[in-house]
Amino acid sequence: MTTATTVKTEYEAIIGLETHCQLSTNTKIFSNSSTAFGSDPNTNIDPVCMGLPGVLPVLNEKVLEYAVKAGLALNCQIAKYSKFDRKQYFYPDLPKNYQISQYDLPIAEHGWLEIELVDAEGNPIRKRIGITRLHMEEDAGKLVHAGSDRLSGSSYSLVDYNRAGIPLVEIVSEPDLRSGVEAAEYAEELRRIVRYLGVSDGNMEQGSLRCDVNISVRPVGREEFGTKVEIKNMNSFSAIQRAIDYEIERQIAAIEAGDRIIQETRLWQEGAQCTSSMRVKEGSSDYRYFPEPDLAPIEVSNAQLEQWRSELPELPAQKRHHYESELGLSPYDARVLTEDRSIAEYFETAIASGANAKAAANWITQDIAAHLNKQKLTISQIGLTPTNLADIITRIETGKISNAQAKQKLPDLLSGISPEKAFAGQELITDPSVLEPIVDEVIAANPKELEKYRNGNTNLKGFFVGQVLKKTDKRADPKLTNELVEKKLNA
């Protein structure tokens, strides 16, 4: 959850995001070539994605399924009838010189997504961001600029067509965002949703999730939007926030200086932490859209739509609300636990196996999370099952083992050793008649510390408790040990 921020009070930023999300299908949108990332250049290609004469595209049914599920998760209206169009532009990484996309009849429209922020006082804010449309399209290839040139920085370019024909959905938001913080939170929540659905891995580093920002500023109170500028080349959520914050200040400064804002596409320069002009922005008329003649229109039946709707999982926002209102978790714990679907499912299995929700949350978000981060693992790669975590928590709560014992044995438990084996012979000593002679022995063995304690250094009580725990290999019940040590020291 991020703290909301505002721009200068006399100006208002109007922000919308266009997000390209690569779908996790095994093959491309209109052909059978692999979508595997990291293959050698120009090895995952075929006549269809290369636009060779005489070939016809065929829609990958999984692409349609994933697009509809994403639309449903974003509360969109799913079109009963939609079609593909040709979007014309000429660039070396687009083999056909047109892109198959959707224009006037997209697969999904009129949805929304809720983001969560906190205000300056720490109070939670929930804001609904409209989704204008979601449509399917194919990706272009990739240009690799190489060599060196004194003026342009490269002397030649190479083209890798592996990405040509990769299936995408483009998700266009309404201009409801007002700051870099809100935009970054929107993009993060969108990634959580597509990952929960399993329709995309949302990996920004590999280009599976790419966000373009449209931003303008206007004086507060004016209804008319300012001139829109698009920002590209952002590969992280923090870059989205920083690019927007910079562009807001740049546009305000230009307006106050009497300069004209032009509609253009700008690039985010990570090194310089600023935006720079790339090209004058095209309009839809420049692309000369017309219906794709080689693909039939799409009609989604009611039965198919309801089948896909029934397969949707509980989404992260729903889980967060459930964890807070029904399980009593803090917003922080709820957010960490729902960041990844596998972690949420691990947590839910643990509490279904009898674990206290707060105790399970603490173990997962603290000790287990630290191990995952250090070892660069996912929660599905550890040996500690959620059922065994519930067993450990129950043993602690029933006094069979201490929290310290559990933490001491955690490396073994994470490697897959069962609690039965890990704690064999380690049950807590809870019988006063067994502990009392051990306490007497420890006190008798430390006369100098006893004298200091009785002369006023009461902090030494912890020393005696520690010696008892050490002597019993941490099997002494901590609460009972404290009571017996204090009783004996003050006798």
Contacts 24+ apart (CB under 8 A), 331-338: 331/1, 331/116, 331/124, 332/1, 333/358, 333/361, 333/362, 333/365, 335/1, 335/116, 336/365, 336/369, 337/361, 337/364, 337/365, 338/192
**Cβ neighbours, 10 Å, residue 171:** 26
What's the pLDDT at 192?
Answer: 97
Residue type, 360: A
Percent of residues in the chain assigned helix, strand, coil, to nearest 5: 40, 20, 40
What's the pLDDT at 478?
Answer: 85
User: Phi first, then psi: what are they for 247, rounded to 5°?
Assistant: -65, -35
> Alpha-carbon distance 442 to 448, whole Å?
12
On whether the CB atoms of residues 172 and 229 are closer than 8 A, the answer is: no
> What residues have CB less than 8 Å from 21, skipping those under 6 apart?
70, 168, 169, 170, 171, 190, 194, 199, 200, 202, 208, 209
Radius of gyration of the chain (CA): 30
> What residues have CB less than 8 Å from 219, skipping those under 6 apart?
10, 11, 12
> Alpha-carbon distance 360 to 370, whole Å?
15
Locus of tokens 């300069």: 259
Tokens of 166: 């990769």
pTM for the full model? 0.86
What's the pLDDT at 360?
Answer: 98
Which ranges in 269-385 belong to alpha helices (H)? 302-310, 316-325, 331-338, 341-352, 357-362, 369-375
Give exposure, 395-415, as e/b (b: 16+ Cβ within 10 Å): bbeeebbbeebbeebbebbbe
Enumerate the β-bridge partners of residue 158. Answer: 144
Helix 316-325 to helix 341-352 angle (10° resolution) is: 30
Is 81 exposed, middle or buried, given 0-12, 13-18 or 19+ CB atoms closer than 10 A? Answer: exposed
On whether the CB atoms of residues 138 and 101 are closer than 8 A, the answer is: yes
What's the pLDDT at 147?
Answer: 79
On whether the CB atoms of residues 221 and 190 are closer than 8 A, the answer is: no
Strands 209-219 and 167-173: unpaired
Strands 142-146 and 124-138: unpaired
Locus of tokens 């949707």: 312
Q: Which residues of the chain have a pLDDT value below 70?
A: 1-9, 149-152, 281-285
Q: Helices (H) and strands (E) in the chain — how many of each?
A: 17, 17
On whether the CB atoms of residues 63 and 167 are closer than 8 A, the answer is: yes
Of 88, 164, 166, 174, give the one whose Cα is nearest residue 134: 174
On whether the CB atoms of residues 270 and 246 are closer than 8 A, the answer is: no
Is 322 exposed, middle or buried, given 0-12, 13-18 or 19+ CB atoms closer than 10 A? Answer: middle
Locus of tokens 């500023």: 217
Is 232 exposed, middle or buried, given 0-12, 13-18 or 19+ CB atoms closer than 10 A? Answer: middle
- Give me the domains of the chain, ranges plus CATH numbers: 2-304 (no CATH), 314-422 (no CATH), 432-489 (1.10.10.410)
Helix 447-454 to helix 461-471 angle (10° resolution) is: 150
